[in-house]
Amino acid sequence: MLYDQPQVVEHPDYLTKAGVLDRCEVVAGTGLFESIPAGADLYILKRVLHDWPDDVCVSILRRCREAAGKRGRIAIVDAVIAPGNGPDPNKMVDLLMMVLAAGLERTESQFRDILERSGLRLTGIVPTPGPYRLSVVEAEPA
50 among known catalytic residues: yes
Q: Could you tell me what percentage of the chain is helix, strand and coil, using 3-state DSSP and rounding each to the nearest 5? A: 35, 25, 35
Angle at 114 between CA 132 and CA 38, to 5 degrees: 90
CB 97, CB 50: distance < 8 Å: yes
Burial annotation 58-70 (CB, 10 A radius, 16+ → b, else e): bebbebbbebbee
Question: Which residue among 50, 63, 65, 106 is the active-site one?
Answer: 50
HSE at residue 106, side-chain half, CA atoms within 13 A, is 26
Catalytic residues: 50
